[in-house]
């Protein structure tokens, strides 16, 4: 059971009509949004306005509270949890780089029920993190904000080597095949991990 349910949202069949009737805020209107996150959203994702689920969950999620959200396909659920997760990690002082670096290591863990969804989440995470990587002004791989995905059917050895060479800021993994390996990394090598969204339900 989640310690705090900050928002419970169920968008009905008329949600698209509701969004048209009630103008939703622009991402640029969020004063606390990191400039690099805004750059990724507006310049790379070509998005201007938030969807209903993004708007109703952002404040609670970006402050580290647990969110239970339900919305139809295509309403922006992935961005609704990835964006505030990144913002919360940055607010807590998390930085890109290996666990040996101060406040480094994996900052966000996303668990996905399927390989296809894991890849979808990872692809969107790559877009979000790419602007943060470019904003650092450094070409060093260890200082870039990156994303990595792990799922069954891929080589565990290659995945772990990739993680060792360039520790990701965001790790997306399927739950069944590699969860034991992932949990070993998180709780033995990086016990300080912070997961702003403690449970993801689809």
Per-residue pLDDT reduced to its tens digit, 134-193: 444 444 444 578 899 888 777 777 877 787 777 888 988 887 655 555 555 554 344 454
Average pLDDT over residues 52-74: 89
Handedness of CA 68, 71, 73, 77 (dihedral sign): negative
What are 8's strand-pairing partners? 68
Residue 196: per-residue pLDDT: 37
When comparing pLDDT for 161 and 202, which is higher? 161
Q: List the chain domain ranges.
A: 8-189
Beta strands in the chain (DSSP E): 8-10, 68-70, 108-112, 147-150, 170-174
When comparing pLDDT for 116 and 197, which is higher? 116
CATH number of 8-189: 3.40.50.300
- pTM for the predicted model, two decimal places: 0.74
Task: For residue 99, count other CB atoms closer than 10 A to its CB.
Answer: 16
Average pLDDT over residues 102-121: 85
């Amino acid at each position: 059971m989640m310690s705090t349910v900050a928002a419970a949202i169920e968008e009905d069949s008329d949600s698209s009509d509701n969004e048209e009737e009630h103008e939703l805020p622009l991402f640029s209107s969020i004063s606390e949004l990191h400039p690099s996150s805004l750059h990724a959203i507006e310049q790379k994702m070509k998005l201007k306005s938030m969807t209903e689920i993004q708007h109703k969950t952002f404040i609670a999620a970006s402050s580290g509270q647990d969110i239970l959200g339900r919305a139809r396909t295509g309403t922006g659920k992935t961005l609704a949890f990835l964006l505030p997760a990144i913002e919360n990690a940055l607010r807590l002082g998390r930085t890109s780089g290996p666990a040996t670096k101060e406040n480094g290591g994996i900052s966000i863990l996303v668990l996905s029920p399927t390989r296809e969804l894991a890849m979808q989440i990872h692809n969107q995470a790559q877009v979000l993190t790419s602007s943060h990587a470019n904003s650092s002004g450094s070409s060093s791989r260890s200082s870039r904000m990156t994303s990595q995905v792990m799922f069954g059917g891929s080589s565990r050895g290659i995945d772990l080597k990739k993680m060792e060479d360039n520790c990701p800021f965001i790790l997306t993994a399927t739950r069944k095949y590699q969860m034991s390996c992932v949990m070993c990394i998180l709780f033995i090598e990086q016990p300080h991990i912070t997961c702003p969204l403690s449970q993801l339900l689809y």
